[in-house]
Each structure stands twice: as structure tokens, then as C-alpha cells.
Amino acid sequence: MIRNKLSLAVALVMPLTTFAAENTTIAPEGVKTEVLTVTSSADDGSAGTLRWALDKNNQNPGHYRIELQSPNNQPLVIKPLKPLPAVQGPVEIINLDWLHNGKYAAIDGSGYIKGSDPQSCPGAVSGQYGANVRTTTMPGLVLRDTHDVILQGMEIRNFCIGILINRAKDNVIEDSRIVGNHGGAGIMMTGDDGKGNSTATSTERNKIIRNTFINNGDGMEATRGASFNLIADNFITTDQVHNQEPSQGLEMLWGNDNEVIHNHFENYSDGVQLNWGNRNDIAGNTFSNLSSAVTLSGTGNIVDGNTMTGNRVAVSVRPQGEPGPNNTFGINRITGPAVNRITANIMVGNGQPVNRCFAGGSCLPGYAGAIVFNVPGLEHAAFIGNRGGGISNDTSKLEKICAIDGKSADCEKTPNKDQHAPLIAHVSRQQNDLTIDGQVKGEANTLYRVEFFSNSKSAMDEAEHYLGYQMVPIDAQGRGVIHEQITLAADLQVANVTATATTNDGATSPLSTPTALK
């Protein structure tokens, strides 16, 4: 069942496959690549073991290709007895069994990591543990300060972090399974300098494509300066039996300019959680049974063309601190207003009682629906949920939200400029022509994008079908007139229409109150 869901983005498979193929010849020009064959499940460093292959490759990176293959037609299972050496690229690590018959070769951390609960995975700060704290502890495969590592057809399981990509570039993790890594994440891409600081331009152009993630604390992370990475066509799931901290399918903390496209996220607190990441594109994904499908903070992010069904909140727009003075960074790493664009998404059947808030999600009563402003994060005193193992819950030291805690000198304002939804005054249909009239209030002398959505039943108040948009000028008094005619498909049932308004710099409103056809 899970394998079948990996075909989510057929249109994307061809370009991704082509891209990966173009990067498979990674030996230096004129250098003949020697194949190191791994057929043994032992971990004694002898010829034919994974440890032997990694050690030999690391002596002269760029001169080897590591191929894994079972000698007895049974899946190869390797249980290291101690941490494996960090992988030095360029190198391909390819499981031939997967290429031939779809069987994964497993690297299993249970040989030396004891326990499968969050407490067995300590964080970088003493007393903290699990998925929701800073950590690079006990990973399975480590790609640190390296480049051009390709990994295919592997199952990485039962570590605290499945694969750690730390200050590493141009690596490809593809066609693999990442299972039961119960600490930091299944795959963690981080520019962490070893002291918790970001390192710019160190963790870039990595590609996480066509993988399955099952029951990891966080499915993936792209943090502390991880930028320009591609996360595409992955299937990310968890359950409440085998995962004590179902936190995020993907967390981006201070991660910028990443592409998250054509993935499926389900059953976590958040599908994608942006913690002050900027200019990330989240497009063409599907989200279901999440407390919050996408949680936004930072600025310049785009949530485009996703399908969000059966969640508590489809898009949570989180308040955040003001920028610093004189165009310097504020507490949330932004220099100007926080504006995030939410466009052309299908949102149906949200507002469900999914009360799952492990360092994210939406568990504050009343905060549910399609696009919801002022949803607290774990840095806010109003947050309800688990902030992470060993983290203090002293709310007196946490941030305040003006709309929830009352106005004060340091409270955080409503996000996306508190842009209000348009008012749709009248909707009529004559055969296949739909006419929409209304108004929008906004920033004077600017141009707004108003998007229209329809619902097939009168009780629905979200965005079942995307109809299109109109560019609406806002006059000197801050008023814009909506008058749009849309040609519908003959079989499209329309009971009501909703709309969003987006400022010219990309701050999107919640959905409007539905307006019934007259």
C-alpha cells in the first residue's frame, strides 16, 4: 500500500530521474572507478563488509563505487556494532538488489543503539532528548563536510538520525526507505557548525527524492542554513503506535530557498513546518490527517497548488517577532515584514479534531479550518502541546501574541499584515458562465490578486475547486472592486464561492465567508 503511494507525481519522475542519471558519473575525469562489492552482513571490517568498503573509499574518495548485493537472494541486513565511518564523496553507494528486484539492503542501528524511545536519543543540550531538540546524535550514515554522495536502494532504520547531511553539498538520497529513526529525523540536512549556529552556503543542492519515510520522529529536517535543496516525490507517514513523537514530516528551521514538491505527508503534527525559513516553495504536495498541514513563519514562502484534506488546519500562519532596527535581523531572522503567499490550493474537509501537537500542530481550541492566522508555535506562551523532551514549559519566558494574550509592548502582531479576506457580495450563474462581484480592502494604490474557489455543497466553506483569479487595483482610499466572469466546466457543481486576497508583495488573507449562488 505504501509503495503504491510513491507514484504521486508522475509528471515529475522523468525530470528527476534524468537529473539523477546525469550525476551518476562522479569520478574525476580520466580516473577509472573501482567497484567495492559488499556481500557480507558482518561488521568486523573484513573484505566484503560495509565498514571495509567505507574505510577503503575514504582513503581515496572519487575512485570507488560501492555496490551492495545479497549472496543468497535474501535481503542484506547489516547491524553495525559501533558507528560507521563518515562517508567521504564523491562516491556512489548502490544496492544492486533494489535495481534488480526492488529489495532493500538494510543498515540497522539496533546493533548498538539500545531502546526505541525518544529518551534513548540525547540532544546536544544536557537533559534534552528526542525529535524536537537540537541534535546530531547517533546517526546511521554521516555525510559531513563532503559532496557528491549518491545513495540508492537502502533501508536505514533504528538510529537516532537515519542519515545526517551536515555541511555537505550535491548529495542524492533516492529510492530508499527511512524507518523508525526516533531521535532527530529520518534524514537531517543541517548547516550546524557544532555549536548550534547556521553556516551559510554549506548545505546546498542536496536532493531527497522518491523515498519512503515511516515512523521517524521528524521525517526530515532542513535546518540551520540548509538552502537550495530539493525534496520531491517522497511518501512520509507515521502512526501513533510505533512513534512516540510524531512531530513533523519536514521541519525547516532557518532553512531558505528549498523546493518541496510532489510529496505526500500524513499523520504528523505538521506536514511541513517552517520555523523562520524564507523563500521556500511548497508546491503540488498532498497533506492528510495532520494537526497542521503547513505551518508558516519566516517570509517570502509560497504554498502553491497543494491538496489539503482531513486536517485540523490546512495552513497555519504563525505570528512572529518584529525585525531588528536598521534592517538587521530580528528574533525570527527576518529583516522586513513577514509575508507568505498561499495560492491555488485545494482545501476540503479540514477543521477535523486532530489534536496532535508535538512541537507543532494546532491544539488551541477554536483554531481550525482552511487558512488560520495567529496559530501559536512552541515559542509562544499560548501553545498547547509537547515542546520537546526536557524542554522547560515556563510560559513567563515565552513570546506573547497580541490577538490571544492582549496588546503589550512586546506582543507579536497578526501575521501576513493582518490582510482581511475579500467580501463577495453576489454570485450568479447563467449556464456555464459564473459572475462574481464584491470588494476588497487593502493597501492604497497597489495591485491585489484575488483568487476564487467554489464548493459543491452549501455547508462547505473552504476551497474545493480553484476557479481562477483577478488582479484588482486598490484605490487611494484602500478599496478595490471585484467583478469577474469565469467560464466553468459544464459538469462542475457550484453551491457557493470563497476567495482570498493577496497583497502585491505576497501576503495572503484567510478565505472569505462563502457566498451562495443567487
Confidence bin at 17 (pLDDT 50/70/90):
very low
Decide: pTM greater than 0.75.
yes
Contact between 40 and 105 under an 8 Å Cβ cutoff? The reply is: no
pLDDT tens per residue, range 132-163 = 899 999 999 999 999 999 999 999 999 999 99
Contact between 50 and 69 under an 8 Å Cβ cutoff? The reply is: no
**Neighbouring residues of 163: CB distance < 8 A, sequence distance ≥ 6:** 139, 140, 141, 142, 143, 151, 156, 173, 178, 186, 187, 188
Enclosing H/E stretch for 186: strand 185-190
pLDDT tens per residue, range 350-374 = 999 999 999 999 999 999 999 999 9
Q: Is 63 helix (H, G, I), strand (E, B) or coil?
A: coil
pLDDT tens per residue, range 285-299 = 999 999 999 999 999
Instruction: Specify the DSSP class assigned to residue 178.
Output: E
CA angle (356, 213, 272) in 5-degree steps: 50
Sheet holding 302-304, edge to edge: 34-38, 64-68, 91-95, 149-152, 172-174, 207-209, 230-232, 259-261, 281-283, 302-304, 341-343
142-180 burial by CB neighbour count: b if 16+ within 10 A, else e? bbbebbbbbbbbbbbbbbbbbbbbbbbbbbbbbbbbbbb
Please report where in the chains the cell 520531491 appears, as a residue: 232
pLDDT tens per residue, range 462-516 = 999 999 999 999 999 999 999 999 999 999 999 999 999 999 999 999 999 999 9
Res 391 pLDDT > 50:
yes
Q: Quote the mean pLDDT of the chain.
A: 92
For residue 161, which of 180, 131, 185, 144 has the smallest C-alpha distance?
185
